Amino acid sequence: MYRIDPQDIEIVRSAQRSKTVTGEFKNGKLRVHVPAHLIKSEEAYYVAKVRERVELRETKQLLNAGDPLLKRAAELNAEYFAGKLEIASAQFVTNQNSLFGSCSVRRKTIRLSHHLAEVPEWVRDYVLMHEMAHLIEPGHGRAFWDIVNRYPRTQEARRYLKAYARGEQPA
């Protein structure tokens, strides 16, 4: 995940600003504009919020540079689906914290949580396979699992993700 060093944060207080807090990230520096009347604890709270939002945006951009998930999905499509799936996009997102992945069948888009950038590739491949299977079978019935189970490490990946979700160090 992209991190902004606290030394690279500049706080700009403005008497013209009454309520809004904004931030801009340029040349590796985060400039946060805050109302002049804020007390230090409020300022720290808002600066942390802006920093988090910018870090997530930068993380998403870095992870998706060069479309790595779409390329990997194309490889899995060729290997397990005979290239028959149509995938409009596959990308990491930073707003999925309780799901590992999601698929819009109508739009043919796949979204994976940015947290999956930290897991081994074979686990990420399983999640991609799971979401790609939804393009054929939207529900989680037997036909869906028959498709997902084409991936040889399905059970191992599911155990890994269950441990990961509990905050354990998966084996």
- Distance, in Å, from the CA atom of 170 to the CA atom of 93, rounded to the nearest integer, reads 23
Q: Is 0.85 topped by the overall pTM?
A: no
Q: Percentage of the chain surpassing pLDDT 70?
A: 99
List the structure tokens of 89: 């996009």
Residue 45 pLDDT greater than 80, yes or no: yes
Which pLDDT tens digit goes with each residue over 47-74? Answer: 999 999 888 888 888 888 889 999 999 9
User: At 82, is the pLDDT very low, low, confident or very high (cuts 50, 70, 90)?
Assistant: very high
The residue whose two tokens read 């596959």 is: 90
Residue 11 pLDDT greater than 70, yes or no: yes
Which pLDDT tens digit goes with each residue over 107-130? Answer: 999 999 999 999 999 999 999 999
Per-residue confidence (pLDDT) for residue 63, from 0 to 100: 86
